[in-house]
Chains A and B, each alone.
Chain A
């Protein structure tokens, strides 16, 4: 007896996409999410203390925010701290909406560069899903980039560049470095009914009351619900249940009142991000899965990947009004993306232009060091406020089995469920890449006219991209799931979030996460009877 055809755990980027695809194909879909819906009337954007909310109650870091819907993440052994949102929409509620696709080489790093593993599919297998996802999320950009495969006309034109991006783009041109307008899941024109055009207010990470910046609670979920999908909010899953044969039968969860409940389904999909999904798989121990689901070879939780990021910030003598415009998206440089044997590292990085911060962010030091206190404070504030442009050096993090998610021995969430612990350190390849990238970023910003350039070797609070902890592969001894996202040891259980990634590329992962989720849903649709049996 089943409650739904498909149960999805997590209503974020991937869970929403899969729910929509499956519901429109006639499946009955239920999604359990430990959070609730965002109240768009209660966002802090119209409050005078909005920047304080950004630092505290609306921080993307669950360990700072400490919302009732969150779970703690033990991160004392993690060089990069976790960022995530636990609510309908998931981390798309607090992102910058930079929306680049992976490049074809990203799926073939073993064949091309002799590192890590190739993916079970290639760029062109995902291409139709990228296109579909771009339309539903609503992407602004411009086709014609000769540095990437040709793609369809973008749904909307690029976002405004701004003075900082114009300066840095011209500098890239003089240096001979290729760049292109960043693709963004932000509406530059009115889109899809109720989404207004971006009005350049800046802090996309706080959410978007205009619904210009995409999040899956405003893109996929209304369509999925219209097609019959159902969300149960404030439902904290603590176990994926299995039968005597080891197949998934559904999930056990605590409802909003703290009562333990069960939802049964012949197919279960995990979409709880690279930390939450690994945690659930490790929690779900049984006689057939004594080390946790899919963990017969001690791989669940391992190969945790981020995008280790350094940052160079140029201070310009002239006002750039960098506080105007979506903070994370304007232009992108992939000139140093591919392996060059002349460099001291393998693979490469992207440089993404970041605009200036608002007053409090400038003072506490997000892109620049914290401003000094005392008599020098105000002069320094005026010298830098609105006059900065930053370049991230966002690197490809190669999989390392020692970087991992485990269950913490002591820390628990409010229901007493063991919390995840992240163990993560940077390797020498990444450190070399960041150092080289920061030199290039300094070169570009100086060429652009910056009078001072300051660098951060590693942005600590940059752990949004939680990848690789239940990776794909053909070989069940070296991977957790197959090329259609099915757990090798439990074929009616799917992992459809960033946990599935074989490698991380050096690009923001959400378009790829969602394309893979749509593809996995299509695989299930085609093999419905086989999987359910």
Chain B
């Protein structure tokens, strides 16, 4: 069931302030995240909490004030925005183009990786045995640092 937040005119401008476009990424407001958030009860409730905490006219200063004063409200809301944004196909496509991360779920493809190279162990494998053997250890310590 869609949350009433979907019809809240304050949501899209707020998203544009939280995640404007840049560095090749789209703005959160361009992606239709309003309905994405409104369709998920957990996300919608978090955003509704932030909207309730903000004054009628919202800019970066007002958001920053709530972030400082009401972290218990701001935290879940920004996580909700990031959650909707970073699971959006357009955003994942930008990440893929920029980093090599594949814009797809983890399975079934996974990733190819070169196998472990035993040559990495040249230094640690050359050390002599150095584990602490309690059968041989007669180290005396202070009787009690704690009980």
Contacts and interface: CB of A to CB of B under 8 A. Distances in A.
A180 B42 CA distance: 42
Contact of A162 (B21, B113, B141): B113
Given A181-B116, A324-B113, A429-B145, A382 B23 contact: yes
A298 interface: no
B87 A48 contact: yes
Contacts of A338: 132
A50 interface: yes
Nearest to B102: A323
A151 B24 CA distance: 52
B63 A146 contact: no
A49 B87 contact: yes
Nearest to B99: A386
Nearest to A385: B99
B111 A325 contact: yes
Nearest to A178: B124
Interface residues on B, range: 35 or more
Given A149-B131, A374-B60, A378-B23, A324 B111 contact: yes
Interface residues on A, range: 35 or more
A346 B143 CA distance: 12
B146 A429 contact: yes
Interface in A227-263: none
Interface in B114-145: 114-118, 120-121, 123-125, 127-135, 137, 139, 141-145
A201 B98 contact: no
A135 interface: no
B112 interface: yes
Instruction: Name B's interface SS.
Output: loop
A46 B108 contact: yes
B141 A113 contact: yes
B83 interface: yes
B116 A158 contact: yes
B95 interface: yes
Given A46-B108, A210-B107, A147 B98 contact: no
A111 B19 CA distance: 58
A147 B19 contact: no
Q: Which of A105, A364, A378, A382 has the most CB of B within 10 A?
A: A378
A325 B106 contact: no
Nearest to B27: A378
Instruction: Name A's interface SS.
Output: loop
B17 interface: yes
A145 B131 CA distance: 9
Given A105-B132, A157-B115, A374-B60, A360 B139 contact: no
Interface string A327-342: 0000000000011010
A199 B111 contact: yes
Contacts of A319: 99-100
A104 interface: yes
Contacts of B20: 374-375
B35 to A, nearest CB: 14
Given A113-B141, A379-B23, A146 B132 contact: no
B101 A385 contact: yes
A360 B82 contact: yes
Interface string A152-192: 00000111111000100100110000111100000010000
Contacts of A49: 87
B138 to A, nearest CB: 9
B4 interface: no
A162 to B, nearest CB: 6
Nearest to B136: A104
Contacts of B79: 55, 364, 370
A157 B116 contact: yes
Contacts of A107: 134
Contacts of A45: 105-108
B12 interface: no
B49 interface: no
B101 A359 contact: yes
Given A178-B124, A209-B107, A346-B145, A55 B134 contact: no
A359 B22 contact: no
Given A104-B133, A112-B139, A386-B101, A373 B106 contact: no
Contacts of B118: 142
Given A147-B124, A148-B131, 9 more contacts: A105-B132, A111-B134, A112-B134, A160-B116, A201-B111, A206-B106, A325-B111, A370-B79, A374-B18
Interface of B: 17-25, 40, 42, 60, 63, 75, 78-79, 81-87, 89, 91-92, 95, 98-101, 105-118, 120-121, 123-125, 127-135, 137, 139, 141-147
7 contacts: A43-B107, A116-B146, A198-B110, A200-B113, A323-B111, A379-B23, A382-B98
